[in-house]
Copies of this chain bind each other. A is one copy, B any other.
Amino acid sequence: MKPDTVLLDHGSGGKMSHALTAELMLPAFANAVLEQLHDGAVVEVNGLRLAFSTDTYVVDPIFFPGGNIGDLAVNGTVNDISMCGARPLFISVGMILEEGLPMADLKKIVDTMAAAASVAGVQVVTGDTKVVPRGTADKIFINTAGVGIVVDGTSVTAGNARPGDRVILSGTIADHGMTIMTLREGLAFDTDLTSDSAPLNHMVARMLDVCPDIRVLRDPTRGGVGTALNEIAQQAGVGIRIQEMDIPVRPQVAGVCELLGFDPLYVANEGKLLAVVPPDACDAVLSAMTGDLRGRDAVVIGEVVDTHPGKVFMTTRIGGSRIVDMLSGEQLPRIC
């Protein structure tokens, strides 16, 4: 039975989020661009291909090792634009502040956003700030939207994946999500986990330089690598087989996942990407990635296959095979 109120699960990035989008948003806003369900939209204006994307950040706590809600918001939109095969140029910032937020916290967040924009090479050109009475929001929520220009000669979209393509992951998974979780669970002092929040646009530019034919780029944020791969498999109508032993997870992150009962495949990343590339370009793309700060640990984790269309399956460490489903409920509320 469908719930008659909004549940935390609807914000998970997993199955219930997708159902909300498919059943409520898509029929209302019906148009071909939105229906691509990409991280960002690619639209044409006077012959120019633009990427346009938005994301809202509600992470709790707002400060964490490796960043805060401010650079998370800038990097997130920079990355969503990049995943369209586009070069991000301009960012908007919409803030909701709770009355009573310390001005010093706001200043720290704003300064971090400015620094993140500078690192990514984008300009914050427009913004809006609302203040709501104490108790009607939690400290600060930030929306960023971004505009970029699609790199000439590229066509990066989930539907492009085809059998034989290789799947590359840019580095270790679950760092962001487990950093937030250890803070919430009061385990932060026992670990030195750090969010991977980072802009990926410079690395993507290098990748598209060596291979304009990259089929798909996706940053596995909410819902993690497992959900992102499912989205690709479904939208392209292909199967994806990955090798568990090839997926890099920091030992500390793996340990905390086990302790708290999380599967790292579904935990949010904020500075990683998945790339689906033609087999003959795989080495070149991988080499462009490992030559970049953000992709030093990049590895091939699997390939696109013509069996099990719409499904992701994983060869486990002990040689078995299991289906990797889309995240179904809310694993981590307010993770980004």
Contacts and interface: CB of A to CB of B under 8 A. Distances in A.
A3 B102 CA distance: 9
Given A31-B124, A54-B128, A90-B52, A8 B99 contact: yes
A58 interface: yes
Interface in A102-149: 102-104, 106-107, 110-111, 113-114, 117, 123-133, 135-138, 141, 143, 145, 147, 149
A226 B255 CA distance: 60
Interface in A81-115: 89-90, 92-104, 106-107, 110-111, 113-114
B5 A56 contact: no
A52 B114 contact: no
Interface stretch (A21-29, A61-69, A283-291): A21-29
B126 A10 contact: no
Counting chain B CB atoms within 10 Å of each CB, which of A11, A104, A145 scores highest?
A: A145
Nearest to A143: B143
Contacts of A113: 28-29
A333 B131 contact: yes
Nearest to A12: B131
B52 A125 contact: yes
A126 B94 contact: no
A259 interface: no
A17 interface: yes
A48 to B, nearest CB: 5
A123 B43 CA distance: 10
A97 B52 contact: no
Given A8-B133, A20-B129, A25-B110, A54 B92 contact: yes
A128 B222 CA distance: 11
Contact of A128 (B29, B55, B104, B123): B55
A53 interface: yes
Contacts of A40: 126
A329 to B, nearest CB: 12
A7 B106 CA distance: 12
A136 B133 contact: no
A100 B17 CA distance: 15
A260 interface: no
Contacts of A92: 41, 52-54, 145
Nearest to A35: B125
Given A97-B11, A138-B132, A103 B45 contact: no
A206 interface: no
B56 A98 contact: no
Contacts of A133: 8, 333-334
A45 to B, nearest CB: 6
Contact of A11 (B57, B58, B132): B132
